[in-house]
Amino acid sequence: MTYSILGERNANDTELCFVVYKRIKSRVTHPASQLWLHTSVIQPGKGGIVTHVLGEVLASGGAGEKSRYFSADEITHPGLENGNVMVATKVEIEKQKRGTCTDPKMSCSSAADCTPGVGAICDAGQCKEPSWCPDGKELTSKFDLETGSVGIWVKSSIQFLNLKPDRLFISQVSKLIQYPAEGANVYTVNDLLKLLR
């Protein structure tokens, strides 16, 4: 994920914090001198964030279901945008095959309400069209995932174009620092939820 900001920066080389202000006010702390610079203009900045997910989950199925292992890739797929992370807390698995079937999630009053150009029809208030259809009589497997301990490693950088165009402020990218330690760059899902309160 990349971003451009106009705002306040209290920066050091191990953390990235910014608050966007609409008013014209900004202050920057340089990590070496701890000198506060007060300016009367907004300092534009550009930066980037990369995230990595650490951990996996062993989930118990419902009644009669076996436990199942979920890797970090399975519980964070699909990636929607670079730098963003979506962590699943519930997974439903249903065996499917390609075919033509009604979709209970697509209600209709006529074929015009269904997907155009695929030969869909409206059958008893539901679209019947080529789709992924249930394969047999097997029930959907449902897993509630305990993802609170899954870690998110955040690597970030920012550059203030008017203040120090030749300097790139970078978070710690070579080692993991678990929150709540100083300069933390790894947060569990539980840590992030607690910080939102």
pLDDT (0 to 100) of residue 26: 31
- CB within 8 A of 159, min separation 6: which ones? 45, 46, 47, 165, 167, 168, 169
Q: Tell me what the mean pLDDT of segment 54-70 comes to.
A: 83
Q: Model-level pTM?
A: 0.61
Tens-digit pLDDT profile for residues 116-134: 999 999 999 999 999 999 8
**pLDDT over 80 (residue 68):** yes
Tens-digit pLDDT profile for residues 145-192: 999 999 999 998 888 888 888 898 888 888 999 999 999 999 999 999
Q: How far apart are CA 126 and CA 101, in angstroms?
A: 10
Tens-digit pLDDT profile for residues 5-37: 444 444 333 333 332 222 222 333 333 333 333
Q: Tell me what the mean pLDDT of segment 101-113 comes to.
A: 91
Place of tokens 């402020």: 169
Q: Which helix (H) or strand (E) element contains residue 92?
A: strand 90-93
